[in-house]
Amino acid sequence: MSPCTHTHRANGRPVEGEGWCKGAKTLRVTFYSDGGTILFDRTYPATFAPGGLTVSGAIGTKYGQPGMLGLLGQPLTSEHGTYDGVGSWQQFQYGYIYWHPDTGAHEIHGAILDRWADEGWSQSSPGYPVTDEYGVGTAGDREQEFQAGWLLWYASTATTTMFWK
């Protein structure tokens, strides 16, 4: 597995995407059903520009904000509902936008996304994102607020820590 390949799980089963990394030559996306059946499996070149995928509604509004295209890249999926049936998400080349009626639409990417995915995505203890990722301090650290706390990525150690509200 390359350092840019990640398998994300929710409730012990793989669910959303394998791998994304700026500068990677390819991106592999695999979706599984609850029973582990592969529903979709495709490898894209890093320059992949999908045709026919729309980004609309609150997720489209977020994606249309300045800097989002450069941060997230092109859409890789259509919008999907979350497991709780309340929110929705859409995957892009370098991250996701998640929406919930109580928190709005927020991007999530990089090491904070990886930690949140390890926790269980939108069904995790942290819950849905409440903010986009933002810089904190002067050392290059990054943070993102969730319904139940914050994930903080430390640039000096490349580690991500959860802080609870």
Tens-digit pLDDT profile for residues 32-57: 545 554 444 445 444 444 556 788 89
**3-state SS assignment for residue 30:** strand
pLDDT at residue 153 greater than cutoff 80: yes
Do 77 and 29 touch, CB atoms closer than 8 A? yes
Do 79 and 57 touch, CB atoms closer than 8 A? yes
Amino acid at residue number 121:
W
The pTM of the full predicted model, rounded to 2 decimals, is: 0.71
Nearest to 89 by CA among 99, 74, 77: 99
User: How far, in whole angstroms, is CA 99 from its chain's centroid?
Assistant: 11
Residues forming a β-bridge with 8? none
Distance CA 110, CA 154 (A): 12
